[in-house]
Every structure is written in C-alpha cells, then in structure tokens.
Amino acid sequence: MKTFYTGCICWFLTVTVFGQLPNTEIYMLSYTQVEDNFTIRNCKLLTHFNPDGYNNQPYFIDNDRLWLVTDYYASDNTEIVELNLLRNEMSRITKTPESEYSPKWTPDRAFFSCIRVDSLNNQNVWAYPYNRKNTGYNVLPSQNKVGYYTWTNESQLAMFELGPPIHLSIQNIGDIESTKVIEDIGRTLVTDNEGWVHFIHKMNDEFWFIKKYHPETPEKIETVTQTLSKVEDFALHKDGSYLMGNGSLLYRYDPSNNRPWVEVLDLKKYGISKITRLVTRHNKIVIVNEK
C-alpha cells in the first residue's frame, strides 16, 4: 500500500486515441450544494505520488474507493490503480504488458471492464475478474477500435468507435457487428439510471451539443443543450443536472429550468487551471486538471 494524496493549501487520431499522454493530476472536492450555490468543504490532491505523469479517467467504485489510470509504474504503459479514500492508500489493480484505460464495473460487479491497448494498437473492451484470479476475456472480440464506452445494460455497450469518421455505436455481447447511431461525437459517454446514453455531438467546429439516446428507441435522439465552447467533458450530476469545466471554472446546467450554463465555482485558488474530465458521487466531485 502507498499513501497517495495531500491536502490543498485551501484545502492524433489514426489507429488509437491514446497517443502522447498529457501531464495531468486529480483532485477531489467535498462540497455542499443548494441549486447553483456550491460551497467547497475540502480539497485534496489525490495524485501526489505521480506529480509529473499521466493520472486520468477516475471512476468511483463506491463512496470511498476510486479507480484511475496512471503511468506511475512505467512511462510507456498505463495501469489501473485503486485509491481508498478513507485509508489514504493506493493498490495496484493491473500489471500487464498492455495499457489499460477507462475502468468501470461490469453491470454484475463481478468483473471490471476497461479499454486494453495491445502491441498492435488494437483497442478492445476487456473484462478482468475483480479478484484477478485469471486474465479475463475480450467482451467484444469483433471490435478492436473502441476509444471509449459505457454499459447500457448487462449485455450491451455504447461505444466511441474510431473512424474515420468517429461515431457512436451500439453492440450486444455476442453480436459480430455494431449498429452506428451518429457520427462526430465526443469522448464522454454516460448511461443514466433509465438507460439513456448521454454524449456530445460535434456538429461542426463551432457548435457542440449534449445529446441523449436510448437504445430501445433508436430512431430518437434528444438534444439537451449546447456545450461550453469546445468542451467535450461533462458529468451527469445526482440531481439530473450537468457539470462541465472550462479553465478553472466549473459550470452547471439544469435542464429542468432551461437556463444557460451557470458558473458555480472558480477553482483557481486550489491550483486547478484546466479542468478536463470530472465525475461525481454524492457530495464529492473528482476533477482531472491538465497541467
């Protein structure tokens, strides 16, 4: 086990989407909220162990544990680690010749899935048993160009498939081919509790929109709202709103009142200057800051 975080003072796209990895760090914010009024209770830097490396794609396992992807063990390879937020400890989850990205529970929570990039730059959705008793299995053997993904149910995935052109697709486990839904999407894919897949549609260089799609009604894609300018990372918040960062600023969009994006926090004083990915759970927000 390794201690992993410190407190803040104030508390290319050809074959693969994973080329030169940016220098990133991960922060966790504890907060209270009343609609658009957010108050930060605490701020923690979670990746003090790898200050000049790649630390990204956080995913809450439960309230007190987090998976993330890091190049801490080797600069030319990424692995998945688990952070115990209560005990302030880090455990290594994968140790393979391949690079792993985008860890998530499988719907039955017996396995965790990820994107595994092999020596030929094939990008497969792979599932490992959480107890690591074996080397796991290829979830969709016919697919080797998956950039990002989300589970829609126990036997189906929505995927960011590499192009050209990049597109959103749906595929059932056991099927040979996927079904294309829409082209020119962003990297964030989120499934809500009702089975809607939320994503960003890049209509052109200027106009990007958050949209949602339900596999049971494939003929219908709903537009939620326009994104902040050229921002492709968002989180679906517990109250049904959306969170998105731009520089050091955190914004919230509430579809129930149809108002524009509202600035809710400026995180500059915590050392956060370029928010990219973010995930939320209960009263916590985990943010990736690109240096």
- Tens digits of residue pLDDT in 213-226: 999 998 899 999 99
Say which residue, 123 or 5, is predicted with more confidence. Answer: 123
pLDDT tens-digit readout, 174-210? 999 999 999 999 999 999 999 999 999 999 999 999 9
User: What mean pLDDT, rounded, does the chain reach?
Assistant: 93
Please give the order of strands across the beta sheet that includes 262-266.
235-236, 242-246, 249-253, 262-266
For residue 119, give the H/E element and its range.
none
For residue 185, give the H/E element and its range.
none
Which residue is it, tokens 């039955």? 108
**Superfamily the domain 6-290 falls into:** TolB, C-terminal domain (2.120.10.30)
Residue 7: predicted pLDDT: 47
Q: What percent of the chain has pLDDT over 90?
A: 91
Which residue is it, tokens 């498939």? 161
